[in-house]
Chain A
């Protein structure tokens, strides 16, 4: 339900731009196909067992002591929820 609400709040144009950034710029560590690189695999299959809340926190605040940076400067809460939903669906 939350995911659907978030989907509605992220406009189509913004979605394209976010999807591009996730693919290209998250992809520089996680791979263009999210198969992993210096950063871990972000493919839908692996993410299924990881709670949304955890993934949201990681994207928002990063993981201190690792190369994962915080992304809250670039994406708001709804957008981060949308990214998590799309990654879990394998549709980014």
Chain B
């Protein structure tokens, strides 16, 4: 190797040592500048932009949008769960798409189409599995959280030989998943503690038309709302041998059922001490129930058909949004007095709300105004707003560590 060639390849070798070191350092610094900054994910979240098949990654500390991720398919009714390291968002789309989004690299990590039509999902207690609830074909599929490889396929075949849409899918302690069969009038418990050998326990005849379900934050009680009956179906997962019990039977007795222009959601059921607040179906009421004896405590007259009834993390107030045509309004209920203490009208199409982990802010999607509004929960004043394309669901990363979310 002659001297001239070496010089051409490595010109800096002829520079004095000090200068060479400086050049190397400069190169290193410029390489670092091209990497995303090191950051945690505890104050991040996503806002679903349902009409454009995209989402925004947002930061709740400085009220900023970090990135828009596109190519997520049909996101009507999309929902999200988080990996236990709170780095990845699993997005469940209406078109059967399951997309794993990397919040730190701000891009899609993996995406599969796992069914024709789906409605939501859950992550297992240990974070290793993602379950998806499907309308078409009706049933549950379970995937490995890291690779999205199929682990189990559980068709919701009812006793009459028909497939049922599955709804109200949640995770439960012991790597179990619990869900309801809308046409099958059933609640099924899927035990995935041995992934190679899924065990299914079926509870039939729980009531007509379970339309959604929830699990209490301690993972003990699974409760399905019934569209076809005045009442709810409750399963105590500590004592499943007791079977499914009917609670709040005839809660709407004495009042005529009104048309429902959007089905209420039971996820994020507002449980405050021994009291639970939840949407009546077909009545413009928020119901208060005593969890000690499962008896109806109070009916709180509301502005319209409630959709989400959500408790602030401090459990002092309940925030409620409403179905079409009253979906421009939010009401705030004081837990101690069970009274509506405040009403606001952020704009048409208030679809969802999400509290920051310790509850000092609430983020509200206002679909028809293409805005996400951020309110201070103490002063009830709007403190910031972010542009978004027809925003719907808002999901923050602290969900990663909560059973049922």
A residues with CB within 8 A of B: 20-21, 24-25, 27-29, 31-33, 35-38, 62, 65, 67, 69-70, 74
Contact = CB atoms under 8 A, between A and B. Distances in A.
Nearest to B96: A35
B211 interface: yes
A70 B325 CA distance: 13
B263 A29 contact: yes
B260 A38 contact: no
Nearest to A29: B263
Given A28-B76, A65-B228, A74-B325, A35 B260 contact: no
A24 B349 contact: yes
A13 to B, nearest CB: 16
Nearest to A30: B76
Contacts of A74: 325
- The SS class assigned to the B binding surface is loop
Contact of B94 (A37, A65, A69): A37
B92 interface: no
8 contacts: A28-B262, A32-B76, A32-B94, A35-B95, A37-B94, A37-B135, A38-B182, A67-B211
A70 B260 CA distance: 9
A24 B51 CA distance: 9
Contacts, number: 63
A25 B392 CA distance: 12
Contacts of B263: 28-29, 38, 67
Given A67-B260, A69-B261, A28 B349 contact: no
Nearest to B307: A28
Interface size range of chain B in the complex: 20 to 34
A27 B135 contact: no
B76 A27 contact: yes
Contacts of B75: 32
Given A31-B94, A37-B77, A24 B367 contact: yes
B259 A69 contact: yes
Contacts of B261: 25, 69
B119 A37 contact: yes
Nearest to A70: B259
Contacts of A37: 76-77, 94, 117, 119, 135
Contacts of B51: 32
B74 A33 contact: yes
A70 B85 CA distance: 46
B288 interface: no
B119 A32 contact: no
A67 B117 contact: no
Contacts of B77: 28, 31, 37
B321 to A, nearest CB: 13
B74 A38 contact: no
Contact of B324 (A25, A62, A65, A67): A25
Interface in B31-52: 50-51
Given A31-B74, A67-B211, A69-B259, A36 B136 contact: yes
B284 interface: no
A19 to B, nearest CB: 13
8 A-B pairs closest in CB distance: A69-B259, A32-B76, A25-B324, A28-B262, A31-B76, A31-B94, A27-B76, A69-B261
Interface in B159-200: 165, 167, 182
Given A24-B390, A65-B228, 14 more contacts: A29-B263, A31-B74, A31-B77, A31-B94, A31-B117, A32-B75, A32-B94, A33-B74, A35-B94, A36-B136, A37-B94, A37-B119, A38-B135, A38-B182
